Amino acid sequence: MNQKCNPIGVFDSGIGGISTLKEMIRELPREHFIYYGDTANAPYGTKSTEEVIGCVRKVVEHLQEKQIKALVIACNTATGAAAAVLRKELTIPVIAMEPALKPASEKREGGSILVMATPLTLQMEKFNLLMKKYGEGAVRVPCPGLMELVEADDGEGALEYLKHLFSQFDLDKVDAVVLGCTHYVFLRDMIRDLLPDHTAITDGNAGTARQLKRVLARNGLLNETGEGKVEFETSGGEKDLKLMRKLMQSE
């Protein structure tokens, strides 16, 4: 059977990974994607590593029943907790992501870099290694509760949260802000309005999409014919599916 036509499984603890999915569709418009939001178990970012691995295994087991040809972990927290484990357990390619600290470090001009992420992501060994390489001037900024505001589609709550968060820093001395959770990408315009013009904003979505394309090509799995499609699934309810579709249509 020709595996090229098989779907690509993409998952996140909730809806945030749709920001990653949109980049992947731009990069790979002929592919069939199945996006799974584990909203019933969200958030991952305040759970223990063992709890996250348990949630992830259930999601992956479900996606494997769909005959996926590759797996994308569209969640920084799940990447840090489970990517290495999954790569040992699965025979298909596993594409993961990490906070975009490297591109942020390239934009640093002596100021600081604020790395916004879930508490668990910032505690992970994977992130510690990233800090050792590219973390000069970087400040960990845990954002408990922010992902939940995105999940709740609470724009006013998110704005108040961000105003309070940024009030703790001298923003004129901040060269870059890293959106270290896929959910935060949906707040990019709001964050942009709160930051000085000179402050760069980075996220890992485009890099993840390019990596997926490279891995599929290397393994002879690129689908180069037909039209792409997207399916949405969730461990939550119809309300979550509606929000996923809404965010998919947003710019």
Domain 101-202, classified CATH 3.40.50.1860, yes or no: yes
Residues 6+ apart with CB under 8 A from 4: 69, 220, 221, 222, 223, 224
Output helix, strand, coil percentages for the chain, rounded to the nearest 5: 50, 15, 35
CA distances from 75 to 52, 157, 184, 199, 232 (A): 11, 22, 11, 24, 16
Q: What is the pLDDT of residue 220?
A: 96
Q: What is the pLDDT of residue 2?
A: 75
Q: What is the pLDDT of residue 251?
A: 66
Q: What is the pLDDT of residue 250?
A: 81
pTM of the complete model? 0.93
Q: What is the pLDDT of residue 1?
A: 56
Taking 70 as the pLDDT cut, the residues of the chain under it are: 1, 251
Q: What is the pLDDT of residue 117?
A: 96
Where in 124-207 does DSSP place strands (E)?
138-142, 174-179, 200-202
Q: Contact, 16 vs 153, CB < 8 A? A: no
What residue segments make up the domains of the chain, in order of their start?
A: 3-97+205-249, 101-202
From the list 5, 55, 75, 143, the catalytic residue is 75
| Residue 181 designated active-site | yes
Query: What does the alpha-carbon distance between residue 19 and residue 37 come to, in Å, rounded to a whole number?
Result: 12
Q: What is the pLDDT of residue 226?
A: 85
| Residue 75 designated active-site | yes
Query: How many C-beta neighbours within 10 Å does residue 205 have?
Result: 22
- 101-202 has the same fold as 3-97+205-249: yes
The dotted CATH code for 3-97+205-249 is 3.40.50.1860
From the list 5, 55, 143, 181, the catalytic residue is 181
Helix (H, G, I), strand (E, B), or coil: what is residue 95? strand
Residue 41 DSSP class: G
Q: What is the pLDDT of residue 237?
A: 93
Q: Contact, 195 vs 114, CB < 8 A? A: no
Query: What does the alpha-carbon distance between residue 108 and residue 105 come to, in Å, rounded to a whole number?
Result: 5
Residues comprising the chain, all counted: 251
Find, among 12, 31, 9, the residue nearest to 92 by Cα: 9
Query: What does the alpha-carbon distance between residue 108 and residue 113 come to, in Å, rounded to a whole number?
Result: 7
Query: What does the alpha-carbon distance between residue 142 and residue 10 come to, in Å, rounded to a whole number?
Result: 25
183 forms beta bridges with none
DSSP string, 74-104: --HHHHHHHHHHHHHH-SS-EE-----HHHH
Taking only Cα atoms into account, the Rg of the chain, rounded to an integer number of angstroms, comes to 18
